[in-house]
Amino acid sequence: MSAPVLPNWRPDFEAIAHWVAPGARVLDLGCGDGTLLRFLKERRGATGYGVDISDDNVLACVKNGVNVIQSDLEAGLSGFESGSFDYVILSQTLQATMHTERLLKDILRVGREGIVSFPNFGYWRVRMQLLAGHMPVSPELPYQWYDTPNIHLFTLSDFENFCRGHGVRILERLVTTDGRPVSAVPNLLGALAFYRLDRAPGASPVAA
């Protein structure tokens, strides 16, 4: 897939867009200025909505010509019917949520599948900075400890353990560093992780 010419395109959108089937119904949580949705709409014929809390992002989405619902993800997804979307996307936001467990449960309630990406806290550069005695700052984690929105940092292994324990099935995984796929020792060598998820058959959704 060639990179689209959109001003705020992020490399991680590429991987997410790749997983979205043409014509799908998509809910993009924490959608920012709507760049990903606009791409999915224009290139993949997808329909759907973004959700964002910020006034600036809501305006940017309207300017981008995509549907946006101003809402606080922490308040849950009660405004959305169960199974009403093919994909619910949460792009580099999970680590910044307070009610992480509930949100993942809601994602797999509202969406047939969930697509989740997050910075891997097990990445070796992160580990090195911790070993050196500092909270890590990197392209994926660009904040200082005192101004970071990230309150639930975790590793690939943590996430996969969580999925196993909560009836979440991992359908596909992609791990990248500097935009390139990583296959060996991903929990150490991968900076960003992408997962395509659904509810494990027979499992009650995200049982505690």
The answer to the question of residue 129 lying near another protein (CB under 8 A) is no
CA torsion angle 98 102 106 108 (round to 10): 110
Pick the binder of another protein from 81, 101, 164, 185 (CB under 8 A): 81
Tokens 């549907």, located at residue: 67
Instruction: State the pairing for strand pair 25-29/85-91.
Output: parallel
How far apart are CB 59 and another protein at their closest, in Å? Answer: 6
58 versus 141: smaller Cβ distance to another protein: 58
62 versus 130: smaller Cβ distance to another protein: 62
The answer to the question of residue 71 lying near another protein (CB under 8 A) is yes
Pick the binder of another protein from 21, 62, 151, 171 (CB under 8 A): 62
Asked if residue 101 lies in contact with residue 153, where contact means CB atoms within 8 angstroms, the answer is no
Whole-number Å distance between alpha carbons of 161 and 155: 10
Burial class (CB in 10 A: 0-12, 13-18, 19+), 51: buried
The sign of the dihedral angle between the CA atoms of 163, 123, 191, 149 is positive
The answer to the question of residue 55 lying near another protein (CB under 8 A) is yes
Kindly determine how many residues on this chain lie close enough to bind another protein according to the rule CB under 8 A: 18
The answer to the question of residue 44 lying near another protein (CB under 8 A) is no
The answer to the question of residue 97 lying near another protein (CB under 8 A) is no
The answer to the question of residue 89 lying near another protein (CB under 8 A) is no
Query: Which residues make up the interface to another protein (CB under 8 A)?
Result: 25, 47, 49, 55, 58-59, 61-63, 67-71, 79-81, 84
